[in-house]
Structure 1
Amino acid sequence: MEWHAIDYCAPEAPSQFVASIREIGFAVLREIPVTASFIAAVYRDWEAFFLSSEKYAYQFDPAIQSGYFPFQSETAKGNDRPDLKEFFHLYEWTELPSGMSDRTWQLFHRLRAVAETLLEWLEQGLPPQVRRQLLTPLSDTIRASTQTLLRPIHYPPLPRAANGALRAAAHEDINLITLLPAATATGLEVQAESGEWIGVPNRAGEAIVNVGDMLQLATGGFYRSTSHRVVNPTGEASQRSRFSMPLFLHPRPEIHLTPDITADDYLKARLKALGLQD
Structure 2
Amino acid sequence: MTDSNTDIAVVSLAQPLESIADELGRSFEEYGFAVIRDHGIPQELIDRAEKLSKEFFALPDDAKKAYHIPGGGGARGYTPFGTEKAKDAKVHDLKEFWHVGRELSAGHDLAKYMADNIWPDEVDGFRETFTELYAAFEQAGGRVLEGIALHLGLPRDFFAATVEDGNSVMRLLRYPPLEGEEAQGAIRAAAHGDINTITLLLGAEEAGLELLTAQGEWKAVDPPEGALVVNIGDMLDRLTNGKLRSTTHRVVNPRGEAAYRARYSMPFFLHFRPDYVIETLPSCIDPEQPQDHPEAISSHDFLMQRLREINLA
> 1:36-185 alignment to 2 at 5 Å?
36-53=43-60, 54-63=63-72, 65-93=75-103, 94-98=117-121, 99-101=123-125, 102-127=128-153, 137-145=158-166, 147-161=167-181, 162-183=183-204, 185=206
1:194 and 1:184, CA in 2 relative to 1: closer, same or farther beyond 3 A? closer
Deviation at 1:103, TM superposition (A): 1.9
Cα deviations by residue, 1:215-259 (Å, 9 ceiling, x for unpaired):
011111121100110000112211100001000111111211135
Deviation at 1:62, TM superposition (A): 2.9
Cα deviations by residue, 1:18-65 (Å, 9 ceiling, x for unpaired):
222122110001111123443122111011101102212210343462
1:250 paired with 2:239, answer: no
Q: Judge which range, 179-188 or 260-269, deviates more.
A: 179-188
Deviation at 1:186, TM superposition (A): 2.0
Conserved 8 A contact 1:182-1:202: no
AA partner of residue 264 (structure 1): H
**Which residue in 2 is equivalent to 1:134?**
none
After TM superposition, the runs of 4+ consecutive aligned structure 1 residues lying more than 4 A away are none
1:10 paired with 2:8, answer: no
AA partner of residue 114 (structure 1): A
| Structure 2: stretches of 5+ with no match in the other structure | 104-116, 280-294
**Which residue in 2 is equivalent to 1:24?**
31
For normalisation by structure 1, the TM-score amounts to: 0.91
C-alpha RMSD over aligned residues: 1.8
Cα distance in structure 1, aligned partners of 2:188 and 2:27: 26
State the identity %. 36
Q: In structure 1, the residue corresponding to 2:199 is in which secondary structure?
A: strand
1:35 paired with 2:42, answer: yes
Deviation at 1:67, TM superposition (A): 1.1
The structure with the largest alpha-carbon Rg is 2
1:203 paired with 2:224, answer: yes
Deviation at 1:200, TM superposition (A): 0.6
